[in-house]
Amino acid sequence: MIPFNKPYLTGKEIEYINKANSSGKLTGNGYFTSKCKKWLEINTCTNSALLTNSCTAALEMAAILADIKNGDEIIMPSYTFVSTANAFVLRGGKPVFVDIDPNTLNMDWKLIEGQINKKTKAIVPVHYAGFGCDMDEIMKIAKKYNLLVIEDAAQGVMSKYKGKALGSIGDLGCYSFHETKNIISGEGGAILINNKKLKERAEIISEKGTNRNLFNKGQIDKYSWLDIGSSFLPGELTAAFLFAQMEEAKKITKERLKIWNYYENGLRNIEVEGLISIPKLQKYTEHNGHLFYLIHKNNYERDLFIKKMSKKGVMVVFHYIPLHISPYAKNKLNFKKQSLIFTESLFDRISRIPLWLGLNKEYVLKSVIESLYEIKKEN
Ligand SMILES: Cc1ncc(COP(=O)(O)O)c(C=O)c1O
């Protein structure tokens, strides 16, 4: 069976883990953490980056930094991973869900302004598939209403919007290095602190609410409890693994894009025949080949496609169940019933095909085309 995902290893991971191990410094903020931090700051052109244990943790840090309090509203898409919302709900915030643009599957920025009121505190654009949201438009709205922008760029490492790294445009940006992403450390993440005013507090929050960071640098002789915070910092072994991956980020992205472009070329005609639609890149998108999705005519054909691909030995998967129709949102979030037309009409028609380094892409594409024609014949 061709799996949906297979982690790519550069071969340097164990060497770097051994190096960290023999250095005797295994907690976070050691040599490899600082290498990763520098890599992030240079490659995203941001002011400051901190490693976290996951993108979920980065989003939770962002919610603390945004000072989310009971009843504050945060505008985000419903078509996203649960952590985008959970991070804010944990602080008493209320997600306000906005529909997606069917062309990008990203939050439709034209719908944001209509949801802003006195309780609105932040906007959280999610860059689905590593394709950037229209950040100029979102930043304009945020500026007009004095709102924070927190980019959920979990899938967007090495992607750009008009030449700027995703995650580096809003006040804060959150990355994931989960095993299923392009650059990995098993579990892992980072927060980019683009708004300089938040830098000092971010370091304190990441160190359990203390100024241990200054203590480690020898700038103070004891550290104390200054703020709320938690254990957001990964250890050196994780950072060592991650740095081996970061060193090959350009190569990994290039190879993923080759597969992505191969799929796009192979499926363009099938789209013209009306069997499926494939991603449409906006002029401003420079993406990282994170995922390739197909949109089927209906849910029946999507599920049949997944079954047929499985019979041919290729694992194909669906994606997010929208948050506004989840049991938690329905039972606990107490908002007026909403209808998000495109989110609801698209989510159960989406499938994602395998995309990883070393994959037999020719076989996958051939199987996709065969399965789609079989479905056409049967209907
Ligand atoms: C949009 C989005 N945000 C956040 C996350 C959470 O990332 P992590 O697993 O690193 O916590 C994911 C995970 O896939 C995601 O897709």
Q: Which atom of ligand 1 is nearest to the CA of 128?
A: 1
Ligand 1 neighbourhood includes 176 CB (under 6 angstroms):
yes
Residues 168 and 281 in one domain: no
Residues 71 and 206 in one domain: yes
Q: Which atom of ligand 1 is nearest to the CA of 178?
A: 10
Asked whether residue 178 carries a pLDDT value surpassing 80, the answer given is: yes
Ligand 1 neighbourhood includes 54 CB (under 6 angstroms):
yes
pLDDT in tens, 196-254: 999 999 999 999 999 998 998 899 999 999 999 999 999 999 999 999 999 999 999 99
d(CA 74, CA 194): 19
Sequence-distant (≥ 6) Cβ neighbours of residue 154 within 8 angstroms: 55, 81, 83, 126, 174, 175, 176, 178, 181, 189
Asked whether residue 336 carries a pLDDT value surpassing 80, the answer given is: no
Residues 182 and 237 in one domain: yes
Ligand 1 neighbourhood includes 29 CB (under 6 angstroms):
no
d(CA 306, CA 208): 44
Domain membership of residue 210 (yes or no) is: yes
Residue 42 pLDDT level (bands cut at 50, 70, 90): very high
Domain membership of residue 6 (yes or no) is: no
Residues 50 and 198 in one domain: yes
Torsional sign, CA 67, 156, 352, 298: positive
**Domain around 88:** 13-248
- Domain tally, the chain: 2
pLDDT in tens, 91-129: 999 999 999 999 999 999 999 999 999 999 999 999 999
Asked whether residue 136 carries a pLDDT value surpassing 90, the answer given is: yes
Asked whether residue 337 carries a pLDDT value surpassing 90, the answer given is: no
The pLDDT score that the predictor gives to residue 334 is 73
**Region 168-186 average pLDDT:** 98
Ligand 1 neighbourhood includes 53 CB (under 6 angstroms):
no
Residues 235 and 276 in one domain: no
On average, the pLDDT of the chain sits at 96
The pLDDT score that the predictor gives to residue 272 is 82
- Percentage of residues of the chain with pLDDT beyond 70: 99
